[in-house]
Amino acid sequence: MKTYLRILGYLKAHGWVFASAVLATSIFAFLDAFSFLLVIPFLRVLFTETEGPAPEAVSTGDDMLDRILNGTVGRMVDLEAPPQEAIYGIILFILGIFALKNVFDFLKVYLMARVQQGVTRDLRDGVYDHLVDLDMAFFGKTKMGQILSRLTYDVEQLRVLVAKELGKVVSSVFEFAAAVYFAFVISWQLTLAAFVVVPFTMGIWGPLIRKLKRNDQRVLSSAADVNAHIQETLTGIRLVKSSSTEEYERGRFHHLTLRYYRRFLRSEKLRALASPITEMLSAIGTVILLWFGARLVLVSGSLTGEEFIGFLVLSMKLYSPVKYLAKFPALIQPGLVGAERIFEFLDAPIEVEDSEAARPFSGLREEISFNGVGFEYRPGEPVLKDISFKVPRGSVVALVGPSGAGKTTLLDLLSRFYDVTEGSISVDGTDIRDFTVRGLRSSLGIVSQETVLFHDTVRANIAYGNPDATREEVERAAEAAHAHGFVSELPEGYETVVGERGTELSGGQRQRLAIARAILRNPPILVFDEATSSLDTEAERLVQQAIERLLEGRTVFVIAHRLSTVQRADQILVLDQGKVVERGTHQELVSTEGLYKRLYELQFSDDAVDGEPDRTPGSKSSPGDRPTGF
């Protein structure tokens, strides 16, 4: 119930539309039930003798039924006219009621559709807005396919619940109320008899609902697993094909779809019981009405034949909403389960956010300091331990070490993708947690090994994060990044769409666009995370030239496995198992036995075997053989 009330809270933003839909629904329900009541005067006139006065029940009467009929039909149709003429008048009156009823039917459907789409849009927007604010830790432990499933499949389930089923339940309530009112007008005894089976209809679903909820949770979980598998395999399709694991992935996918198929059918089997059970109870109720109504007509004489027939016709409108309301708890279970899964995302806490006293980042004047920094992704499993160093403004610091040493994690802490669990990181003596997240990150330019480009134009990708950048500024940034030449040769130049993830471009071209983006932002602090490791020699040379321009006057952090790219760094930190095990300049580190020297000798001896110059200490090489690096 708590979940459903929270869902209904989304109706507040569309209150007047929903209220109008409810009003239209109530008028429609009244006219719909009243249209069945019109059978009674029709039958009265139809079975009136062709000669003699009209029956007393048609022209006069003190009971509620006669007052209603005489106050409506009697005002528009001359019921005392000859039967043929009166029947024509009643038929036209019925036609008019149906026309008016359908006008309100259109209004209730249209207005409820507006509510439906409005709530769906608000909910999807709310989930997405919260998702982009969540920390990297959330995305590290949540499958992308699960996220996509909840934004699409689960939101669709919730749309059905909020709009379609909610509209039906509102309509059913008003239809039931109108049918009960007119049923009491005809015969209160027969109405009470009709309610004999209602408690059984409403109460039979308890055990089924609990099973349905469990099964629907499993169905949605299986649907998310299917989406996750599709997303993972299509993203890594190159690895799948290069490993010849198509059959293996087919087997995994077929297993997931079979599990979804079985769970879905299990739920639908329970849900399918709703119709036969309610139909059987309705049949029992109808039999009771026939038996008891016949006694009222034939034995007690308290009910006329036409009134009994009118009640039977009206009972269809009485039982129809009861049957739906009985099935309603079963029908809404997928939506409620989907809502719970969506609210899990909406309730996920944002751990990295501005403090109450946070202030804008004022720039780097002196140095960045890491003070006893420690970090854990999971409690009790430290990734970084007691790391301390200082980076003066305008200097270049390189982080090297084996994979998994914590290099990228350390710079993620500088960007506040995560917050330190021990120690602090400060800029000019101020803890970075005292700055606004937006202000701090806007001062950073990050160029990583896996360049992120969106399915948009070259211009939009370079200007990403700088929507006010002019055409000239974008092109100057591209020129500085050695990208203007190849961009000019593209079919539509800067207006060329690069494809999803930049698939229309080579690796070196994508990297140069990323560097152009960083140049356009003009950040005081730069982070290079394996920016050239996946490039060929020619592409690396062009990217290195672009990087050289970008470094001027900036504070730079470099992560690199290729030690040739860090030899000119002002400070090199060697990380291993989350600790700084060595530090110094390139010359200092290669002249001392340690991890850096072993990595350097191993790497460049491999280069010599591959046909490149031997650059180990003591080897002879011309200046032109030395790597430019940073």
State the Cα torsion 223-225-226-229 to the nearest 10°: 160
Residue 170's H or E segment, with its range, is: helix 166-186
Instruction: State pLDDT tens for residues 331-376.
Output: 677 777 777 778 887 888 777 888 778 888 888 888 899 999 999 8
Residue 422's H or E segment, with its range, is: strand 422-427
CA distance 424 to 433: 9
So what's the pLDDT on residue 611? 44
**Residue 301 falls inside a structural domain:** yes
Instruction: State pLDDT tens for residues 107-154.
Output: 988 888 888 888 888 888 888 888 888 877 777 777 777 777 777 777
Instruction: State pLDDT tens for residues 69-114.
Output: 778 877 787 777 787 888 888 888 889 888 998 999 999 888 888 8
Contact (CB, 8 A) for 368 and 391? yes
Q: How many helices (H) and strands (E) does the chain have?
A: 27, 10
So what's the pLDDT on residue 304? 82
3-state secondary structure 240-287: HHHCCCHHHHHHHHHHHHHHHHHHHHHHHHHHHCHHHHHHHHHHHHHH
**Residue 263 falls inside a structural domain:** yes
Does residue 237 register a pLDDT over 60?
Answer: yes
So what's the pLDDT on residue 368? 92
Rounded mean pLDDT, 257-271: 84
- Read off φ and ψ for residue 116, nearest 5 degrees: -55, -55
CA distance 571 to 554: 15
Q: Which two tokens stand for residue 567?
A: 């030899």
Rounded mean pLDDT, 548-564: 75
Contact (CB, 8 A) for 45 and 84? no
Contact (CB, 8 A) for 442 and 361? yes
Does residue 432 register a pLDDT over 70?
Answer: yes
CA distance 223 to 230: 11
Contact (CB, 8 A) for 365 and 28? no
Supply the Cα-derived Rg of the chain in whole angstroms.
Answer: 38
Contact (CB, 8 A) for 363 and 524? yes
Average pLDDT, the chain: 78
Does residue 56 register a pLDDT over 60?
Answer: no
Give which of 340, 337, 413, 421 is closest to 385, Cα–Cα: 421
So what's the pLDDT on residue 206? 58
Instruction: State pLDDT tens for residues 4-51.
Output: 777 778 788 888 988 898 899 999 988 888 888 888 888 877 776 544
**Residue 493 falls inside a structural domain:** no
Residue 15 belongs to domain with CATH number: 1.20.1560.10
pLDDT winner (highest mean) among 92-106, 162-176, 478-492: 92-106
Does residue 223 register a pLDDT over 90?
Answer: no
**Residue 194 falls inside a structural domain:** yes
Residue 398's H or E segment, with its range, is: strand 396-400
So what's the pLDDT on residue 501? 64
**Residue 479 falls inside a structural domain:** no
Give which of 423, 402, 401, 502 is closest to 457, Cα–Cα: 502
So what's the pLDDT on residue 1? 62
What residue numbers bound the domain in which 330 lies?
2-346
Does residue 284 register a pLDDT over 50?
Answer: yes
Give which of 285, 232, 281, 226 is closest to 259, Cα–Cα: 226
Q: Exposed, middle or buried, 467 (CB in 10 Å: 0-12/13-18/19+)?
A: exposed
Using DSSP, state whether 525 is helix, strand or coil: strand
Residue 109 identity (one-letter amino acid): V
So what's the pLDDT on residue 390? 92
Does residue 52 register a pLDDT over 60?
Answer: no
Q: Exposed, middle or buried, 132 (CB in 10 Å: 0-12/13-18/19+)?
A: exposed
- Read off φ and ψ for residue 607, nearest 5 degrees: -65, -40
Using DSSP, state whether 324 is helix, strand or coil: helix
**Residue 353 falls inside a structural domain:** no
Give which of 386, 481, 474 is closest to 424, Cα–Cα: 386
Give which of 225, 258, 209 is closest to 341, Cα–Cα: 225
Does residue 459 register a pLDDT over 70?
Answer: yes
Residue 103 identity (one-letter amino acid): V
Who contacts 536 (Cβ-Cβ below 8 Å, separation ≥6)?
A: 507, 508
Angle at 493 (CA atoms; ends 490, 494), nearest 5 degrees: 130
Give which of 89, 111, 136 is closest to 21, Cα–Cα: 111
So what's the pLDDT on residue 424? 92
CA atoms within 13 A on the CB side of 28: 20
CA distance 155 to 116: 12
User: What is the reported pTM?
Assistant: 0.63
Centre a 10 Å sphere on the Cβ of residue 588 and count the other Cβ atoms it contains: 13
CA distance 286 to 189: 14
Rounded mean pLDDT, 429-455: 83
Centre a 10 Å sphere on the Cβ of residue 313 and count the other Cβ atoms it contains: 15
Rounded mean pLDDT, 246-260: 86
Give which of 379, 421, 407 is closest to 580, Cα–Cα: 407
Rounded mean pLDDT, 178-185: 84
Residue 563 identity (one-letter amino acid): L
Task: Please name the residue that has the structure tokens 């202030």.
Answer: 359
Rounded mean pLDDT, 479-503: 81
DSSP 592: S
Contact (CB, 8 A) for 373 and 413? yes
Rounded mean pLDDT, 511-520: 83
Q: Which two tokens stand for residue 611?
A: 């046909």
Query: Parallel, antiparallel, or unpaired: how do β-strands 367-378 and 422-427 relate?
Result: antiparallel
SS3 breakdown of the chain: % helix, strand, coil, rounded to 5?
65, 10, 25
**Residue 135 falls inside a structural domain:** yes
**Residue 151 falls inside a structural domain:** yes
Rounded mean pLDDT, 167-180: 82
How far is the first Cα of the chain from the last one, in angstroms, to the nearest whole number?
62
- Residue 262 pLDDT level (bands cut at 50, 70, 90): confident
So what's the pLDDT on residue 8? 75
Count of domains forming the chain:
1
